[in-house]
Structure 1
Amino acid sequence: MIKKAPIGLRAAVDILEKWQESSDQACRILRISRSTYSWAKQRNPDWSVRLDSDQMQRISFILNIYAVLRLVFDNPENVYGFPAMANDNELFNGRTPLEIMSQGDMISLYETFRRFDVLRGAQW
């Protein structure tokens, strides 16, 4: 099923930019084209985009990771900086969460979300 979702996409693009993710990496994480990325940044109220369920799930993971960070951290430096910090968790092995998510596959994004979700007390 294809859905129109410019608001969620715009939010995810904004978050990835605040996490200091490059446009190429953001496109890989969200599985969108560079032109879709550019349109999302323009905030044109008449713009719409068709996204498939995979893209919608990717947007959801980014929004949920951001929500977890806002719950766990009080300061914006950690909310926006934590994904770019080296992490010694078993999944990351000294790499940043953004490096893992930027691999572009859904499993990496999902596993990164799981590690973040544990920070708020979720049990997996």
Structure 2
Amino acid sequence: MEDEHMMSIPKDPLSRDELSGDALRAFFNLAASWELSELQQRALLGGPPDASYEAWARGAHEHIDDDVLIRISYLLGIYKALHILLPDPVQADGWIRRPNMAPMFAGNTVLEFLCRGGLSELREVRSYLDGQDAIT
């Protein structure tokens, strides 16, 4: 099933390594903006092995697998959508930590929803935000 939000992932090694580095740098910048704990970062990245996560956190941006690239793509889309819908950066970055009464979140925070889920939860939040004219 093709998803309109999915990024195109290059297959050649040089492009793939460059994309891996760019994606991980963007993810760790997003993690800093959202003030994510290491546990939250690992959950959002799909629970990578300790050695991989630690290498990425140190700045080693070797080739990462498709699942991680797709997760980062969704997260960056969520980040971008929030900053479009909520032009105040503090509000945009804080939205994921506020309880949300939308049925899919059931009063939990969006971050809790994302951290306990997989790709489908990332896709759902991205689609949810894309369908909003404004959020609170």
TM range (shorter): 0.7 to 0.9
Q: Is the contact between residue 100 and residue 108 of structure 2 (CA under 8 Å) also seen in structure 1?
A: yes
Q: Which ranges in structure 2 are unaligned for 5 or more consecutive residues?
A: 1-10
Q: Is the contact between residue 27 and residue 34 of structure 1 (CA under 8 Å) also seen in structure 2?
A: no
Q: Is the contact between residue 24 and residue 61 of structure 2 (CA under 8 Å) also seen in structure 1?
A: no
Which has the greater radius of gyration?
2
* TM superposition shift of 1:37: 3.6
| 1:68-110 deviation digits (Å, cap 9, x = unpaired) | 0111112111121011111001100100111011014111111
Q: How many residues align?
A: 118
RMSD: 2.1
Question: Match of 2:112, as an amino acid?
Answer: E
Q: Distance in 1 between matches of 2:31 and 2:24?
A: 11
Matched, 1:30 2:18: no
Q: 2:100 aligns with which of 87, 92, 99?
A: 87
TM-score where L is the length of structure 1: 0.81
Q: Which ranges in structure 1 are unaligned for 5 or more consecutive residues?
A: none
Give the match's secondary structure for 2:24: helix
* TM superposition shift of 1:24: 1.2
CA spacing shift, 1:34–1:20, aligned 2, 3 Å: farther
Q: 2:128 aligns with which of 95, 104, 115?
A: 115
